[in-house]
Amino acid sequence: MCVGETGIGKSTLMESLFNQSFELDPCSHELNRVELRERNFEVEERDILLKLALVETAGFGDQMDKENSVRVIVDYLNNKYEMYLQEELRVKRNLRLYHDTRIHACLYFISPTGHGLKALDVYAMKQLGKKVNIIPVIAKADTISKEELKRFKCKILEEIRSNDIEIYHFPEDDSNAAEENAIFNVRFQLN
């Protein structure tokens, strides 16, 4: 799931990350509510076929009622968990054949203003962090200098800590990924 304001670069990052064009529809600032757009793709990575569901939050942050913007997303996540729970509770179930539609991660795009988190960011990340792994992303980081980016990251991380926002930390207990993830976690915290 990608959450962020309209035009912040969600689609661009997804296409860059997976090195493929997903042909996602652009969004205007004129939506009167948040629209969740889910698209399913198959992506091959290192000879492994991944079934990828991309969920974009069109219109997020464009409305006056910020709480309702977040509520739409939380309700969507709750619905996905409820569907999975209902399948799990069935007397005759086959979870191997069941297509898991739960959302496992949320890339939360932060505007590179240099001023820190907006009230909407704090509220949204606190609410969404109760439901899904939040991975904060400073959007369009290439538009600011390395020194500004470093200061901004420190400011963002301090605000995340002071607001008790739960974010995802890459695991360091997997021997294959431990070294790489440890470096990534330090980079995220310091750079």
pLDDT for 148-175, tens place per residue? 989 999 999 999 999 999 999 887 776 6
Each residue of 80-110: pLDDT tens digit?
Answer: 999 988 888 888 877 677 778 889 999 999 9
CATH number at residue 20: 3.40.50.300
Q: Token pair for residue 114? A: 């240099």
Highest-confidence range of 22-26, 77-81, 94-98, 141-145, by mean pLDDT?
77-81
Q: What is the pLDDT of residue 142?
A: 85
> Which residue range(s) make up the domain with 182?
2-190
> pTM for this one?
0.83
Domain count, the chain: 1
Measured CA to CA, the distance from residue 58 to residue 69 in angstroms comes to 10
Average confidence (pLDDT) over 41-49? 83
CA distances from 116 to 28, 108, 111, 146 (A): 25, 14, 9, 16
